[in-house]
Homo-oligomer: A and B are copies of this chain.
Amino acid sequence: MNQVSSFLLRIGVTPFSQLSMDTGTPAAADTAKQPRTERGRRTLRKLLDAAAVEFGERGFHEASISGITARAGTALGSFYTYFESKEAIFQALVRDMSEAVKVAAREALAEPAPALERERAALTAFLRFAAEHKEVYRIIDEAEFVDPESYRQHYETTGARILDRLREGARKGELRADLEEAHAWAIMGMNVFLGLRYAVWGEGDLPAEHVAAIAGDLLAKGIAADR
């Protein structure tokens, strides 16, 4: 039906089976009520896709359940067959998208490359992804206020992943040996803000490669004048 829909579909056939496993509180283990028939799965998917559009376009509070069901082409009451509340579907969406970002990054890092090269590739992929799915950006960001736990989890996981790469690079002697968590967060912040400025706000004035090259170069040499 649209970009978001196809993007959600691309994630995998059963995104919710992924979601249900990694939750801390047992009570919140399942954000969505599991459908038991094919028809149910279809409706659930329609609701999630519609919610991505509605939340992305109007933000959590401006968005309305009836807006979601209208876009999904289902009755208002059906919503509550699958989600306990507006917050619940938002949470499901955030975790779904967090996963999607992760997958996109993993794909970009599939083949081996020098450590600095990998960071540049990761940023390029992220910028492309952000430009393609601005709603994702917005929804994850808004989670800071609507669902802080998921927000925190998203960035802590992402940061840990970057740190892993840095350590790997250090092990191979390509990066400094003293890199720690703060370095990973610095890089992550860099990436996120460049994404906001050039992928989400920018009208494509600077291509992803160029921005990624600048950041990569900054990581490689710093900004001091050559001695």
List the interface of chain A (C-beta within 8 A of B): 59-61, 116, 141-142, 144-145, 152, 155, 159, 166, 170, 173-177, 179-180, 182-183, 185-194, 196-198, 201, 206, 210-211, 214-215, 218-226
Known contacts A220-B222, A220-B224; is-contact A185 B193 (Cβ 8 Å): yes
Q: Are A214 and B176 in contact (CB under 8 A)?
A: no
Q: Are A175 and B225 in contact (CB under 8 A)?
A: yes
Q: Are B61 and A182 in contact (CB under 8 A)?
A: no
Q: Are A218 and B175 in contact (CB under 8 A)?
A: no
A-B contact pairs, 26 of them (CB 8 A): A59-B145, A60-B145, A61-B61, A116-B223, A142-B144, A152-B201, A170-B225, A173-B225, A174-B224, A175-B224, A175-B225, A176-B223, A182-B194, A182-B198, A182-B210, A182-B211, A185-B197, A185-B198, A186-B214, A187-B190, A189-B190, A189-B191, A189-B192, A220-B224, A221-B221, A222-B222
Tell me what chain A mostly uses at the interface: helix, strand, loop, or mixed.
helix
Which residues of chain B come closer than 8 Å to A215, judged between CB atoms? 182, 186
Q: Are B176 and A186 in contact (CB under 8 A)?
A: no
Interface centre among A59, A144, A220 (most CB of B within 10 A): A144
Which residues of chain B come closer than 8 Å to A214, judged between CB atoms? 180, 182-183, 186
Which residues of chain B come closer than 8 Å to A186, judged between CB atoms? 190, 193-194, 214-215, 218
User: What 4 pairs across the A-B complex have the smallest Cβ distances?
Assistant: A189-B193, A189-B189, A222-B222, A186-B190
A192 CA to B196 CA in the complex, in Å? 13
A57 CB to closest chain B CB (Å) equals: 12
A38 CB to closest chain B CB (Å) equals: 37
A225 CA to B178 CA in the complex, in Å? 10
A152 CA to B200 CA in the complex, in Å? 12
A191 CA to B185 CA in the complex, in Å? 9
A174 CA to B222 CA in the complex, in Å? 12
Q: Are B226 and A176 in contact (CB under 8 A)?
A: yes
Which residues of chain B come closer than 8 Å to A191, judged between CB atoms? 189
Known contacts A152-B201, A190-B189, A193-B189; is-contact A223 B177 (Cβ 8 Å): no
